[in-house]
Amino acid sequence: MMSEKVGGAEGTKLDEDFKELERKADVTSKAVVDVIGKTSEYLQPNPASRAKLTMLNTMSKIRGQVNSPGYPQPEGLLGESMTKYGRDIGEDNSFGGALVDVGEAMKRLAEVKDSLDIDVKQNFIDPLQAVADKDIKDIQHHLKKLEGRRLDYDYKKKRQGKIPDDEIRQSLEKFHESKEMAECSMQNLLETDVEQVSQLSAFVESLLQYHRQATEILEEVTERLKERLNEAQSRPKREFKPKPRQSFDYGDEEQSNGGYSAGPVSPPAYTPAAQAQYPPPPVKRPSVKSKPREPSCKALYDFVPENDGELGFYEGEIITLVRQIDENWFEGRLRGQTGFFPNNYVEVIVPLSH
């Protein structure tokens, strides 16, 4: 090898038919490997979900042990959100009912997508992966062995006279043997085109079945939404009329307990003797809460944490600011807990010092 790479020595040449066969096998091998990866990305752009898709076992699916790929579909997550808030709003409300309708349709789409992922994995990705794991690796093994035996034969041939002829002849036979095995392995790969076309057909059939079922689901929910729209448009619009305001006068703070009274109440008259025996109570002044000195903010709305590390709070609570994560999130402390929350849910009272 060194004499060929450095000294420019010419080694044994392989025939053109072998080179053409090697070229075709190389292109086919690259196509199989790349299509496997791109198909998995097409089914699941999310890398974590794609890893779970790769781990699905074909035999368990054939036996009917797998009904779900083991990861949530985006359609299902959206459907859960729509149905939850649709029911919270109320199905008797036009918008709430429409959210529930679309949410249920999205959850059905997620089930159809699960079936697509499993079918494509079983009928397309797994067979191609078997080709990559066996046929392509066999070709690489035989080509590597062929190159080693070619170098061995060339080395001994150049030292003819110093090396026995039988040993050179034996080296040549091993070279031809490896060449034939490499040719057979490459030919076997190229002759699997019937199986590969069949697998592509199964892939397209799975896609077609998925889109047919998805179309049926979407057509059904479209008709339902049209009915809801017509129903909402035909319903008479209700005008909002605010209730008449009641006028109240402030009464005595001590008598009214801080509330309102229907009319003024005159303070009791005290005689000098009564005043001396029963002095009037001291006037209570409303206490003024001092402004917090440490960085803090006031909650404008309730915030319910949905992810680990988020800090929940109720409207009106004062939260101690720890730091600003980015332009949209703060880190704060409340009731002995620390976490993150969006800054549009609060009003800053004492800003963070920079």
The per-residue pLDDT for range 121-149, each reduced to its tens digit, is 889 999 988 888 888 999 999 999 998 98
Same domain? For 227 and 323 the reply is no
Same domain? For 93 and 174 the reply is yes
Contact 80, 59 (CB under 8 A): no
Final residue of a domain: which of 208, 234, 260?
Answer: 234
Half-sphere exposure at residue 28, Cβ-oriented, CA atoms within 13 angstroms: 25
Amino acid present at 135: D
DSSP bridge pairs for 310:
340
DSSP bridge pairs for 102:
none
DSSP notation for 89-106: H-TTSHHHHHHHHHHHHH
Q: How far apart are CA 148 and CA 139, in angstroms?
A: 14
Instruction: Report the pLDDT averaged over residues 88-99.
Output: 90
Question: Is residue 214 predicted with pLDDT exceeding 90?
Answer: yes
pLDDT, residue 322, reads 93
DSSP bridge pairs for 253:
none
The pair of three-digit structure tokens given for residue 303, joined into one six-digit string? 């915030």
Amino acid present at 108: R
Give the residue from 257, 269, 256, 329 showing the smallest Cα distance to 297: 329
Question: Is residue 116 predicted with pLDDT exceeding 50?
Answer: yes
Residue 285 falls inside a structural domain: no
Terminal CA-to-CA distance of the chain, rounded, Å? 66
Instruction: Give every strand in the sheet of 318-324, ordered side by side.
Output: 337-342, 329-334, 318-324, 296-299, 346-350
CA distance readout (Å), 193 to 21, 22, 160: 15, 16, 45
pLDDT, residue 238, reads 61
Residue 333 falls inside a structural domain: yes
The pair of three-digit structure tokens given for residue 86, joined into one six-digit string? 């649709």
The pair of three-digit structure tokens given for residue 60, joined into one six-digit string? 């368990």
Same domain? For 225 and 91 the reply is yes
Final residue of a domain: which of 184, 206, 234?
Answer: 234
Residue 286 falls inside a structural domain: no
Structural domains of the chain, count: 2
Whole-model pTM over 0.95:
no
φ and ψ at residue 349, rounded to 5 degrees:
-100, -55
Distance of CA 331 to the CA centre of its chain: 25
φ and ψ at residue 126, rounded to 5 degrees:
-60, -45
Q: What is the CATH number of the domain that holds 80?
A: 1.20.1270.60
Residue 115 falls inside a structural domain: yes
Same domain? For 75 and 213 the reply is yes
DSSP bridge pairs for 78:
none
pLDDT per residue as tens digits for the range 35-62: 988 888 888 777 766 566 665 554 444 4
Q: How far apart are CA 321 and CA 352, in angstroms?
A: 7
Final residue of a domain: which of 189, 205, 234?
Answer: 234
- Given CA atoms 69, 71, 73, 78 in this order, what sign does their dihedral have? positive
Question: Is residue 274 predicted with pLDDT exceeding 50?
Answer: no
- Average the pLDDT over each of 58-67, 85-94, 297-306 and give the range with the smallest value: 58-67
Residues of the domain holding 40 = 16-234
Same domain? For 175 and 311 the reply is no
